[in-house]
Every structure is written in structure tokens, then in C-alpha cells.
Amino acid sequence: MGAISAFERSLGALRRNPVLLVAGFVVAIGAAIVTTAWQIPFIGWLAGFLVASVVFFVEPFLAGGFLGMADEAVEGETKLNRFVSAGTEFYVSLLGARLLTLGITVAYWVAVFVVMVVALLVLGIGADLVESGAEADAEAAAAGMGLLTLVGFFGLLFVAALLYYGVGLFVQFHPAAIVVDGYSLIDAIRESVRTVRSEPLTALGYSAVVWTVGIVIGGIPTLYITATGTFTQVMVLAEPEIGLAAVLLNLAIFFGLFVVIHTFVQAFVRTYHITTYRELRTSD
């Protein structure tokens, strides 16, 4: 299976080029800054939004730099100067991809929200009409209509999410297509769709591995901050000075834990992105 072969090639590239961990460290710091900002008690929503807005325009450089290094590492050796050159070379295309993805995502979920609201209004009108009917049957009919509304709501949400991630499965390799083959944004999306259509099982295997690594290993810092965050917030309210010190210490531990774990996660996942795309391309 292509996903397994790509997995092995990724590990080989990392063993030959431990410098990829340095690049992974840089990428992990960027992600850690954003994630830590979201965890600041009481103002995390504002701090996270502001920091994420800045990092949004930095991340294409980081992604291009690492993918460029990973592409070299798969074939042989790479150096850190490739990080800067690739990040600069592919910045515009990768930024355009992020802006396009953001725009489509927002438009899609706004449309889903509108459809769900309209559907709920229609069901609500139907429920009112039922309740205005015979009193003996109105209560049972209203209960049935309520159940139908609940099932319809979650059913529509499930279908919308399935469609969203289904499309994502086919276009997910456009960053690799930009960096490896130098495609323009639109051509990279087409190439991603074409290669995934040729080997859908490989793409599914890749996605399963990435999700597993991201959730099981990459989720460890999230588990930590979830377990300790509420306690430190309570301390801030009860004892402001001690609580503030506890919050800062907790955020520092979270930041350090996130950087250490995601240095390896980012290095592997992004290298795996390149090796899987190469597998898809050669098997086409």
C-alpha cells in the first residue's frame, strides 16, 4: 500500500536528515504561540485571534520552507538554507491557497448554517400546524415532530461535515504539488484531485495516519491544559497574585510541552505529506 511505503520513506528521510527536526522546531514554535494565546484565561479568544491573524501570513513561509527541505530529504540530503529559499519561492502560491481555503470554508459553512436555519423554520411551522390540529393527537405529533427536527439537524450537520472532509481528501496535496512540481495554485488543486482519484486508498491511509498522530500524540498538550486550565482560572479569581503566577507557570509548561511534541509531529507529518504525494504521482 502506498501509504505504508510513504511512511517508511518518511522515517528514512528523517533518519538521514535530523536537520528536519530543526525545521520542525521552528514550525512548532509558530503553532505553539497561537495555541498558547488561545489558552490565556478570560482573554484567550481575543489574544488567540490577534496572534492567529499574524501567524496566518507567516505560516505559508514556514510550510513552504519545510516542504522544500522534505522534498530534498526524500531524495538525499538537505540543509537549512533550503528552508529560507523554498519558503520565499513558494510563499505567494501557498498564501493564495490559504486565502482561497479560508474563503471557501467560510462561505460553505455560512451556506450550511442558512440551510439549517431554513430547515428548522420549516419544521417549526410544521410543528405549529400539527399542534393546531386535533388536541388528542397534537401532543404525540408534536413529540414526533421534535424528534424529526433533532434527527434532521444532526443528519444535515453530518452530511455537511462528510462532504466538507470528502472534498478536503481530494485537494489536500496541493501544497506538495506546488513545492514538488512547481504548479500554480489552480493547477496544483487539479493535480491533487487527479492523483488522489488514481489511488484513493493511499490518500485515505495517509489521512488516517495523520489524524492518528495528530490526535493521539499531538493532542497530549491539549489534554494537559484541559486538565489544569480550569483549576488555574479558579485560583486567579480566589487568589489573584498566586493565581496569576500559577497561570503563567501553567502556560509555560504547556508551551514547552507543545513545542517538544510538535517538533517531532510536524517533522514527520510534513515529510509524510511529501512522500505520500510522490507515491501518488508515481503510481498514477
Cα separation, 136 vs 102, in Å, equals 51
Q: Please, what is the average pLDDT of the chain?
A: 87
pLDDT the model gives residue 249: 86
Of residues 171 and 246, more confidence is placed in: 171
φ/ψ of residue 43, rounded to 5 = -120, 15
pLDDT the model gives residue 64: 96
Cα separation, 209 vs 113, in Å, equals 31
pLDDT (tens digit per residue) in 230-280: 667 666 666 666 667 778 888 899 999 999 999 999 999 999 999 999 999
pLDDT the model gives residue 204: 93
Cα separation, 203 vs 197, in Å, equals 9
How many other β-carbons are positioned within 10 Å of the β-carbon of residue 19? 18
Place of cell 523554498: 86
Q: Are 174 and 187 in contact (CB under 8 A)?
A: no
pLDDT (tens digit per residue) in 116-157: 888 777 766 655 555 555 454 555 555 666 677 777 788 888
Would the pLDDT of 217 be above 90? Answer: yes
Place of cell 493532542: 219
pLDDT (tens digit per residue) in 39-82: 887 788 898 899 999 999 999 999 999 999 999 999 889 999 99
pTM, two decimals, is 0.86
